[in-house]
Structure 1
Amino acid sequence: MPKPLRKAVLPVAGLGTRFLPATKQMPKEMLPVVDKPLIQYAVEEARAAGIEQFCFVTGRGKTMLVDQFDIPYELERTLAERNKTKELELLRAQALPPGAIVSTRQQVPLGLGHAIWCARNFVQDDPFAILLPDDLMLCDTSCMKQLADAYEATGGNVVAIEEVPKEHVSRYGVIAPGATRGNLVEVTGLVEKPPIEKAPSNLTVIGRYVLMPEVMAHLSKMEKGAGGEIQLTDSMAKLIGSQPFHGVRYEGRRFDCGSKEGYLEAQVAFALSRDDMAPAMRAILNKYA
């Protein structure tokens, strides 16, 4: 039996420059989709997979992300005094137990691989999940739960994958696929942002991972890859052959909330997925059809 998956790392040190001026003071991960910030969607997705401990890899001015999961005593007291029972229950249902979140700083932006390496003392010798909050998932079964189930079945590294048009492969990490069993695809190779003509497939890795702690030893070498950054993909590739490595064709939809277009589409899709919001959203859309 593989070790239980109980830890998750969320790299949230980015500046969010594509959303300026909205992100001048507010972290981009606090941008709301309908009525919840992106960071909360990611944490709730992980909790649905049985994850209990979280490490936020932050930068300067990002304390708001941790505060989002603190207990707002003054607000709770005010809600109780005003008999706002529904709102009070909502806040308490989203609370995390004491000690469930820690944060560490990535002082310099050296890439995703470097951000994950900053969480090495949190990870220690345990398997761990990675969730990039910019990738917002709309799934009947939590995307991370789908990966956690695949990890339990294979006992190794697992990444969420999806097909993209071939002309877009240079934007992603791309897998070389091996044997396929259901929605599980063996990963025989990985390359970060390859030119179209050198891409081994059009199956790309999105912002959901379950990795073994051995990846930290490779990240610690600080080898620079695409874009002059320390790439997580390069260190993951070095695990292939020594550990099981699979991609999961997840069931659901991904919204790239690192772009304005993806963020706007997510607002529509998530509103339409909710019984309390769908009629109003359809009426709004019809006004502009």
Structure 2
Amino acid sequence: MNVRKAVILAAGYGTRLLPASKAVPKEMLPLVDRPVIDYIVEEALAAGLDQIIMVTNASKTAIEGYFDRDFELESVLESGQKQALLAAVKKPTEVSIVYVHQKERLGNGHAVTITRDVVGDEPFAVFFPDDIILHDVPAIGQLIDVFQRFGHTVLAVQQVPREDVVQYGVIDPRALEARLHEVRGVVEKPPVDEAPSNLATVGRFVVTPEIFDVLAETPPGRSGEIWLMDAFDRLIARQPVYAYEYEGLRFDTGRPLGLLQASLHLALQREDLGQELRAYLHSLKLV
């Protein structure tokens, strides 16, 4: 079965990026000159996902504005012969997006639940937009390839230092082949001495529609919220769940350091910025 729909969860507060995220949605903070959310949508489209469903809230109108036409701005750029900028401004507006507002912040599992009517009875991809993953083959595309083989839910995972497992959902894996595991259990942010492995989930998943029924039966967990990791742990009793150690370079842009690292990395790759930025960094005599 083909995977065509992408659910992007963009309704969170962004507390790790306060005070900036009080006024600007964290998904709209820039990586050089494009917002974080643009890279997420770009990855989805590159993997062949042509139906984008964005979970936001009433305070995040800037996201919808970014993907909408601004005819006055386009007219100014066109009359000023600024064709490159005009193309850059128009490109995001070519994407068709359905917005679903999460009226209460009741967890990422709840955010997935409210997309049920839009997603329907078919598999779909889920993105946590804090995680930017750079690779020639889109990370979500790698998971879709695994899904096409097995037809069951696939979680993106990466190895993390043992002391960092307290920050992630962690899987109990059974190795099947290189990079591929069957998931025997999922624990959300376990203590170091209780973690079943150091394989941590990151914000990419390909999910079967059965997850909606499981979420409906999943009780609130930590902080009184419904968590997708808890639902994955319950889903295992009904059907196989797999995990794939994706290939790519990941940045957690929900943290100030991760946002800065991603911006530097992307800027250094650009012909118009890379050389001057390298010269500046060299002038700091950091090494």
* TM-score above 0.5, yes or no: yes
- Aligned counterpart, 1:102: 98
| Residue 282 (str. 1) matches residue 278 (str. 2) | yes
Name the residue aligned to 1:220: 216
| CA distance in structure 2 between the aligned counterparts of 1:271 and 1:4, rounded to whole angstroms | 35
- Supply the AA of the counterpart residue of 1:213: P
Query: Does residue 1:170 correspond to 2:160, yes or no?
Result: no
What's the secondary structure of 2:235's corresponding residue?
Answer: coil
1:17 has 2:9 as partner: no
Contact 1:113 1:219 in 2 (8 A): yes
**Which residue, 76, 81, 84 being the options, matches 2:82?**
84
> Which digits, 9 at most, give the CA deviation of each residue in 1:71-118, with x for residues without a partner?
222222222211112222233443335xx2111121222111111112
CA contact (8 A) 1:138 1:270 kept: no
Structure 1: 5+ residue runs without aligned partners?
none
2:185 alignment counterpart: 189
1:150 aligns with 2:150: no
Structure 2 unaligned runs (5+)? none
State the partner residue of 1:64.
Answer: 62
CA RMSD of aligned residues (A): 1.6
Once the two structures are overlaid, the 10-residue window that deviates more, 41-50 or 83-92, is: 83-92
Question: Which of 21, 32, 35 is residue 34 of structure 1 equivalent to?
Answer: 32
* Secondary structure, aligned partner of 1:65: helix
Percent identity of paired positions between Structure 1 and Structure 2: 44
Contact 2:9 2:128 in 1 (8 A): yes
- SS of aligned partner of 1:218: helix
Aligned pair partner of 2:236 in 223, 237, 240: 240
- Using the TM superposition, give the Cα deviation of residue 241 of structure 1 relative to its aligned residue in structure 2, in angstroms: 4.7
Residue 129 (str. 1) matches residue 125 (str. 2): yes
- The answer to whether the 8 A contact 1:155-1:244 is kept is no
Q: What is the CA–CA distance in structure 2 between the aligned matches of 1:184 and 1:96, rounded to whole Å?
A: 35
CA distance in 2, matches of 1:35, 1:198: 42
When you count helix as a share of all residues, which structure comes out higher? 2
Amino acid at match of 2:168: Y
Distance 1:151 1:194 in 2: 27
Q: Is the 8 A contact 1:193 1:226 kept in 2?
A: no
Query: Which amino acid is 1:53 matched to?
Result: Q
Aligned residues: 285
Q: Equivalent residue for 1:180?
A: 176
| Cα distance change of structure 1 residues 53 and 236 upon mapping to structure 2, 3 Å threshold | same
Q: Which moved more, 1:145-154 or 1:254-263?
A: 145-154
Q: How far apart in 2 are the matches of 1:277 and 1:144?
A: 28
CA distance in 2, matches of 1:49, 1:244: 24
| Partners of 2:109 and 2:228 within 8 A in 1 | yes
Residues 1:249 and 2:245 aligned together:
yes
